[in-house]
A and B are shown apart, each in its own frame.
Chain A
Amino acid sequence: MTATPHAATPSALPPVETPESQEDMRLLVAGQWQLMWWRFRKHKVAMVATAVSLLIYFVAVFAEFLAPLPRDHYAADYTFAPPQRIKLILEDEFGNREFHPHVLGYTVEIEAVALRRVFKPDPEQVIELGFFVDGLEEYRVLGIFPSRKHLFGPKDPTQPFYLFGADKLGQDLYSRLIFGTRISMTIGLVGVALSLIFGILLGGVSGLFGGTVDNIIQRTIEFFRAVPSIPLWMGLSAALPEDWDAIKRYFAITVILSILGWTGLARVVRGRFLSLREEDFVMSARLDGVAELGIILRYMLPSFLSHIIASVTLSIPGMILAETSLSFLGLGLRPPVVSWGVLLKDAQRVQVLATAPWLLIAAVPVIVSVLALNYVGDGLRDAADPYSR
């Protein structure tokens, strides 16, 4: 055959394609993140869970604004005061009903036999509630902008307002739960970030170099995985010096949690590296002359970044649970730091529970956040490889 311009031969002409709809066109030029988003979007539960998780992190960030009371505010008069019911309609003496959100103050009686203080709602004491009310103290939004405003609270900040009841120091559980969100949710993030660094480094080294290095790292991982986690955590936390301040303790606990957390991520990373190394497109890049670093950064990393994100999301709930359990046992964080685990510790004793069962509410955010993050992680995992069928 002579060198005729090739595009003119019939076999080379692209077939006339059937007209494609707008949506098909978008699919053809969609990159991996776009495809993943489309797939993730279909996962309804994961979408809801994402919204919930984002909301929880929002709470963590704007805790001062969302909590009606400052974190450490206490009032000995209101020890174990029960939750108040928010009433929306206020009836004045003429029987006119008006929209006026309010709660009722307490009257206190001393029970004759047990000498226990019993709180009763007092219809005479109307504590009016409002949005964007001024609080007791000034605080800084995001640590920068000074403000006194709170999302909602009593119009007169000195009056008692216990939406979820009070603990033994008369501290508002609702406000403290909001502050606890910050610690509990970030300890997951920081712990996972630490695990991620260890995991990617060690897993990457293991998967890339193979051989003896891989063997040593793998055996180490197996050793760590064989150690029962709770006793290990307990042992390590118990070994922390008593006189460490809250910040030190916080970081020490994250490190302890990630000591086991990295092994899972390292396995994921190593597995991905090993399987990707065998992929034809990686070999093809190598034959193109792409340098090793370019192959890792441009070919391998984008292929498993999504898997890493999913694994990371799935390991946050474990960290949250671990922190909660340690703090509950008194081995993790301690007051004055407020976390959900620290709050639950108050509900440890049976006698306390009998008088103030509302303290158990602190378990609700733990359950909700763990479930939500798990569902998000599931959704991400399903969407992580948009090219599988």
Chain B
Amino acid sequence: MADTATPSAPAAGKEPLLRVEDLRKYFPIRQGFFGRSVTQVRAVDGVTFDVFPGETMAVVGESGCGKTTAGRCLVRAFEPTGGSILYRNRDGDEVALDTLDNKSLKPVRRELRMIFQDPFSSLNPRMTVMDIIGDPLRVHSIASGSELEDRVADMLLRVGLRPEYMRRYPHAFSGGQRQRIGIAKALILSPQLVVADEAVSALDVSVQAQILNLLQDLQAEFDLTYVFIAHDLSVVEYIANRVSVMYVGKMVETAATDELYHNPKHPYTEALLSAVPRPDPRERSQRIVLEGDVPDPAHPPSGCYFHPRCRYAQDMCATETPELRPIGEGHEVACHLAEDLDLRGITDLVPRD
């Protein structure tokens, strides 16, 4: 169903909905008595990808690699330090998200929504479910009074909650139900593009599947495009059409999901895939154990950021930064040796009998 809902090669013939080019976001580190800016954390340091209408584009990577920061730049919760974000709005015009002022941003906010990771902190505990979900309608003067109530009730049904729950407060709901409320709030403005930041990571395993299914159903129903930020590669394989892998603020590989999982071209992607524990004792994989830790984005290594941990690193890797470049149909990678390496995908990692 993941395949039938959206074309598996979405790039073909369509204009991208979102074009992100060399996106950068640096945070200053302040120290001292009057808070002088000392250095910078390069949380996002050159991220490039396109998102096509109707697809689910996943961004994966380890903690601190800048996924959240990148996602927040996309919805302009953060002001990007550099790069460009071009968004094609409902009228077909391309707007430069990164430079819009607050006033011209407001209509875009209706089309570009976000689902948050933490179902507990993302809902205002002091508002009823109706106010939480209905507030965007009120702010954009779309509906009020009983019409607003009707629309909230309808939305609640669509995310699988009873409309009677409208008068309750968030504390009356379980984590999964709260996440449904968060989804309802994101979708009430009928957006085009939804950025979901770790939308299922905080949920119990049994509830995770409910929400993943719901997200897929809603995508088909409302023609949504998702940017799905996650660290769980099994979940991503299930939901995404294309996947981008991030490492220390940079994008290292982008490809269609099957291609990336079965035919990775970046050594980091290979290691990441090998590290995913498989829920099947007959498929115990051979882990590629990386040495050391993820580098601190305030002091990244020279050259290829991955070189201190890369099994294939050569001298040039320590000095020259590899650029993201196409290596096949819809497959981009940032590794000097991409063509020469024979990396193992998820099927090769499992000893088959």
Contact = CB atoms under 8 A, between A and B. Distances in A.
Query: A–B direct touch, CB within 8 Å, in complex?
Result: yes
Contacts of B214: 11-12
A284 B160 contact: no
A7 interface: yes
Given A290-B139, A302-B126, 20 more contacts: A1-B217, A3-B221, A6-B157, A6-B221, A9-B217, A11-B210, A11-B213, A14-B160, A14-B162, A29-B167, A29-B168, A29-B172, A32-B125, A280-B122, A284-B116, A285-B124, A286-B77, A288-B135, A288-B139, A294-B139
Contact of A387 (B34, B125, B218, B220): B125
A287 B158 contact: no
Contact of A215 (B35, B117, B126): B35
A3 B220 contact: yes
Nearest to B177: A14
Interface string B175-211: 0000000000100000000000000000000000010
B90 interface: no
B217 A11 contact: yes
At the interface, is chain A mostly helix, strand, loop or mixed?
Answer: helix
The 4 nearest A-B residue pairs measured at CB: A28-B172, A12-B160, A280-B122, A288-B136
Interface in A271-324: 279-281, 283-290, 294, 299, 302-303
Interface residues of A, number: 35
Contacts of A1: 1, 4-5, 216-217, 220
Interface of A: 1-3, 6-7, 9, 11-14, 27-32, 35, 212, 215, 279-281, 283-290, 294, 299, 302-303, 387
A41 B185 CA distance: 34
Nearest to B1: A1
Interface in B102-147: 106, 109-110, 113-114, 116-118, 121-126, 128, 135-136, 139-140
A279 B217 contact: no
Contacts of A285: 124, 135
B109 A288 contact: yes
Nearest to B162: A14
A281 B72 CA distance: 14
B128 to A, nearest CB: 8
21 contacts: A1-B1, A1-B5, A1-B217, A3-B220, A6-B217, A9-B217, A11-B160, A12-B158, A12-B159, A29-B128, A31-B169, A280-B121, A281-B123, A286-B77, A287-B75, A287-B113, A288-B109, A288-B139, A288-B185, A289-B109, A387-B125
Contacts of B11: none
Contacts of A35: 171
Nearest to A12: B160
B233 interface: no
B126 A13 contact: no
B161 interface: yes
B347 to A, nearest CB: 28
Given A1-B5, A290-B135, A31 B158 contact: no
A279 B116 CA distance: 11
A36 to B, nearest CB: 11
